[in-house]
Amino acid sequence: MAKLTLDGREIEAPEGAPLVQVIKDAGVFISNLCYIDDLPPYAGCRTCLVEIEGAPTLQLSCTTQIADGMVVRTDTRPAKDARKAVLSLILSYHADRCLTCHRVVKCKPGDTCLRDDVVTHRCITCSKNYRCELQTTCEMVEMAGFEPWEGEDRTYYELQQPESDRANPFLEFDPQMCIICTRCVRACDQLRHTGAITLAGRGFSTRIEFGAGGPVHDSNCDFCGSCIDVCPTATLMEHPNKWSATETERWAPTTCTSCSVGCSINLGTRKGRGVIVRPDTAANPVSDKQICVRGRFHYDAVKPKQRLSQPLIRRNGGQEEATWDDALEFTAARLTEIRERYGPEAIGFLGSPLATNEENYLLQKIARAVVGTNNIDSTAGAVARAAASSLRAAFGSEVLPADMTQLARSKTLLVIADDLESSHNVACLRCKDAVVNNGARLIVVSARRGEMCDFADVWLQPRPGEEAAVVAALADAVGGKAEPRPLSPQVAQALPAAVELLTAARDPDSSGSRPLSVVQALPHLGAQEAGATTAAAANLAVAALGKEAAGSLFVLPQEANVWGMRDVGATAEYLPGYHLTGDDSARKTLEQAWGAPLPTASGLTFEQMLSDDKLKALLILNDNPLFFAPAKPRISEKLAGLEFLAVIDSLPTDTAQAAHVVLPDVGAFGKEGTITSADRRVLRMHAATPPQGEAQPAWRILGELGTRLAQRLKIGELRLNYESPSEIMDEIAQLVPLYSQATYREIESGAQQPLNGLGPNKAEIQSVATIAAPADDGFTLTTGRSLYTSYEGAALHSPEADKLHREEFVEIHPADAKELGIAEGDEVTLKGISGELTIRAHITESGQPRMLYVPLYYDGGAVTALFEDGQASAAVEAAAVSG
């Protein structure tokens, strides 16, 4: 550490740090319009001039590195005057509508301009007004009294200004507001590794361009909005709600539930509606300053009025609005009736990875302690269960100590994911960080080409379904086993290069980098294959790293809270805290804690619940089988055959529409609670928006419903009513060691939780049952999460779900398209065993011949109709729609 004097104050700072950062951290204002924290200085704006003792002239604080004994003054007259003079140059080519208006002192935010004849440009014509860094800087630097070119015509008004680009639904680009600070260029390149923004032209014509200078959506921009965060003016703005966001009233820290990375975000609201999202750097350190297009824009995919606002009961051939009392009584009565007639095993419960830990916990508590059944699962259960069981076989535990902040420090990376960029965008970003900033070597196992492949040293492209075999072959080779596995030729060819990199990963390294990280993104469908791939990935980690393996294996579920569900017992086989339902002593402890007897019979998984007709009633919390579950026609039929179906959801999903009772929940941004990320961080969600109509948060609905059920079923003293989710978490903390420090009083949102004995206790190789690749003659259909479509929008079949319309296609390889006589945009019919789908074709080489890909979220999960139970891919027939 070096000692320096800043404006007469003695402070300490790391030697060599940029002075501007130190000044900012010390809480002293210094104008700087181009510096980005933690990136090398650009030194373009030249406004951060300070006086440094011994230096002949004023120095830029961004390019000055801290040295011991430095004496810095920011507040001298020459420094202040120089900063003003430089800033006045910036203002010469920027609109001054908000700065020079003589009425500006009289106006309040949101005032409509009275517009007298002197006021030609109005501050209210800029959507960054009142939240503009340039504006704030001008105020702080006291530009008001500094008018060196009094009576000057500003260059800005002398020139024809370029048109702004408002053609895409996410990002507005208004070049006339640009001050060429190039923060966006550097954020896109150095923080996101996307490089969609460039500096073009020269001299005064220097300008920012997306891609080759066309519209933003023609560039490779993927709308993460990182550039918006760093833009000091109104040049780059969110398109939705940008005017409303000018008057943001409240900021609520919460968590994005679009995937299992669990990015921390701040949601700004106005009049109870979300209007803006910014990354929340105070919580999850994995996301830190970065989120993706989903986190930033999907808050707005569904309008409040599209949400359920009233309980609904199926009556007179339709769902009719009902009071809460009626709906809850009706539900409790029906469940009681069915339990009495068929026994507790006839009732099933579906929790959801989209619900909070508290809600899932409460749901399983009702199932077990009130209804008396272990029939609790979700549509995401099968894949998670298969992966978890492979992890248990390898490490004796499914709770791994892996920490995603370490991804960026990896030296070697193996990414097993169909398209990590789309499914887990920020995790993918951290892998790219490792490649770009840490020189990591990257091996990608992916059937389709994703952006990750551009960063990869080796891309192994398996046939769909061949992933497990490929990873197993890698594990064998690294472990020194020479078990020949038949592999596709393109994989076999690239395999030795991958093996070489993985073997080299074990070499000792003094840089402090992590030797190897294995990242597996779990698919939505295909439990068996997912489990095999996880087993193979675990084998590889063990073969390469031995006892350290568990800390280097990252198994990322698709949906937000999959691991949390299992942690709190919302799964058939485990009580909260990973005690098997058959474990008598654990059950007794829980019975004591809850004060109610618990069932001994093992529970049904989701697939088992609907495999025969024994199940008569189903209570679904936030899950959506008609969206996510394969074999949709059969599921639909089964749900219709139930005597009673109750759904707790905030949206009228397909599943909710089939229900006898719908209990309106609030959306993710209206909830208090926690979710658990892929690397076991417990993340707080704070209610940012008020409930729509009479909707209630699910924990309250469950509490009320559970209480009524308990009364009817005459269960004794059992706590089901809580004042807040905080009290539920207190109870979870008692039962699940992993959450012992997650009570709302103690929780540090975003911190990894101590494993408290739940962690790995061995590192073993297991045998991997690889599945034979599908026969080559037919088409193999795969699906997965793509980047742009919002779940909530898709669940409503909203045409707005994919605002860019980038995912409303079946991807077909050019060779197949030629054979089928299909041109880009033609309609194609895909026929599976139990369903068919007509969709437009997108001809691309991102896949492989004989492989088709339809995004899972297309049209409310329409593609799941073509899949059979347990399949990761489906054999389909494809044909052009004639005419």
Partner 1 sequence: MPGPQRPLIKVGISTCSRAVGAQETLDAVRKELADRGLEADVMVTGCWGLCYAEPIVEVAHPGRPAVLYGSLTADKVPQLIEGALAPDQVGVVPELALAVVGDEPLEGVAPLRSMEFFAGQERRLMANCGVSDPDSIDQYIARGGYAGLAKALGMTDEQVIAEVLESGLWGRGGAAFPTGRKWEFLRGAKVTPKYMICNADEGDPGSFVNRNLMESDPHLIIEGMAIGGYATGASYGYIYIRDEYPLPVERTETAVQQARERGLLGDNVLGSGFAFDLEVVRGAGSYVCGEETGLIASIEGARGMPKIRPPFPAQAGVFDKPSNVNNVETYANVPLILREGAAWYASVGSEKHKGTKMFSLSGQIQRVGILEVPLGTPMSDVVMGAGGGPPEGRSLKAVQPGGPLSGIVPASDVGIALEPEPFKERGMFMGSGGLVVMDDSSCVVDLAIYFEWFAEDESCGRCTTCFAGTRRLLEILKRISSGRGRSSDPEIMRLLADTMRYANCVHGQAAPTVVMTMFSFFEEELNEHLYNKRCPAKVCRELVRYEVVHHSDKLPEAEAICPTQAVVRENGSYRIDQGKCIKCDACREQAPYAIALVDEFGAM
Residues that bind partner 1 (CB under 8 A): 40-47, 49, 57-58, 60, 63, 65, 82, 85-86, 89-90, 92-93, 148-152, 155, 158, 179-180, 182, 199, 201-204, 206
In the complex, what is the shortest distance from the CB of residue 227 to partner 1, in angstroms, rounded to a whole number? 18
What does the alpha-carbon distance between residue 356 and residue 209 come to, in Å, rounded to a whole number? 42
In the complex, what is the shortest distance from the CB of residue 38 to partner 1, in angstroms, rounded to a whole number? 16
H-type helices in 222-365, by residue range? 226-230, 242-245, 293-297, 324-342, 357-365
Q: Is the dihedral of CA 415, 491, 222, 809 positive or negative?
A: negative
In the complex, what is the shortest distance from the CB of residue 149 to partner 1, in angstroms, rounded to a whole number? 6
What does the alpha-carbon distance between residue 266 and residue 299 come to, in Å, rounded to a whole number? 11
At a CB cut-off of 8 Å and minimum separation 6, what does 548 contact? Answer: none
- Whether the CB-CB separation of 804 and 169 falls below 8 Å is answered with yes
In the complex, what is the shortest distance from the CB of residue 34 to partner 1, in angstroms, rounded to a whole number? 9
What does the alpha-carbon distance between residue 599 and residue 372 come to, in Å, rounded to a whole number? 5
Beta bridge partners of 324: none
Closest CA to 87 of 233, 235, 295, 286: 233
In the complex, what is the shortest distance from the CB of residue 202 to partner 1, in angstroms, rounded to a whole number? 6
In the complex, what is the shortest distance from the CB of residue 49 to partner 1, in angstroms, rounded to a whole number? 6
> Residue 206 or 711: which CB sits closer to partner 1?
206
Q: Is 454 helix (H, G, I), strand (E, B) or coil?
A: helix
Q: Is 121 helix (H, G, I), strand (E, B) or coil?
A: coil
Length in residues, the chain: 883
At a CB cut-off of 8 Å and minimum separation 6, what does 282 contact? Answer: 253, 264, 749, 750
> Residue 178 or 626: which CB sits closer to partner 1?
178
* Residue 381, amino acid: G
What does the alpha-carbon distance between residue 564 and residue 264 come to, in Å, rounded to a whole number? 16
The radius of gyration of the chain from alpha carbons, rounded to an integer in Å, stands at: 29
> Residue 63 or 309: which CB sits closer to partner 1?
63
> Residue 94 or 632: which CB sits closer to partner 1?
94
What stretches of 473-551 adopt beta strand conformation (E)? 517-521
In the complex, what is the shortest distance from the CB of residue 839 to partner 1, in angstroms, rounded to a whole number? 42
> Residue 67 or 879: which CB sits closer to partner 1?
67
In the complex, what is the shortest distance from the CB of residue 158 to partner 1, in angstroms, rounded to a whole number? 8
In the complex, what is the shortest distance from the CB of residue 736 to partner 1, in angstroms, rounded to a whole number? 50
Tokens standing for residue 202: 């020269």
- Whether the CB-CB separation of 405 and 632 falls below 8 Å is answered with no
Beta bridge partners of 689: none
DSSP string, 94-147: S--TTTS-TTTTT--TTPPP---TT--S-GGG-TTTTS-HHHHHHHHTTGGG--
Phi then psi for residue 514, to 5 deg, are: -80, 135
> Residue 58 or 383: which CB sits closer to partner 1?
58
In the complex, what is the shortest distance from the CB of residue 7 to partner 1, in angstroms, rounded to a whole number? 20
> Residue 63 or 164: which CB sits closer to partner 1?
63
In the complex, what is the shortest distance from the CB of residue 221 to partner 1, in angstroms, rounded to a whole number? 19
Q: How far is CA 339 from CA 442, 572, 617, 659, 716, in A?
A: 54, 18, 9, 18, 17
- Whether the CB-CB separation of 681 and 284 falls below 8 Å is answered with yes
In the complex, what is the shortest distance from the CB of residue 69 to partner 1, in angstroms, rounded to a whole number? 18
> Residue 152 or 776: which CB sits closer to partner 1?
152
Tokens standing for residue 801: 């779900």
> Residue 134 or 376: which CB sits closer to partner 1?
134
What does the alpha-carbon distance between residue 15 and residue 643 come to, in Å, rounded to a whole number? 72
In the complex, what is the shortest distance from the CB of residue 135 to partner 1, in angstroms, rounded to a whole number? 17
CA torsion 75-77-78-83 (nearest 10°) is 60
> Residue 46 or 296: which CB sits closer to partner 1?
46
**Burial 344-353, CB ≥16 within 10 A → b, else e:** bbbbbbbbbb
> Residue 31 or 655: which CB sits closer to partner 1?
31
> Residue 152 or 877: which CB sits closer to partner 1?
152
> Residue 86 or 543: which CB sits closer to partner 1?
86
DSSP string, 92-105: HTS--TTTS-TTTT
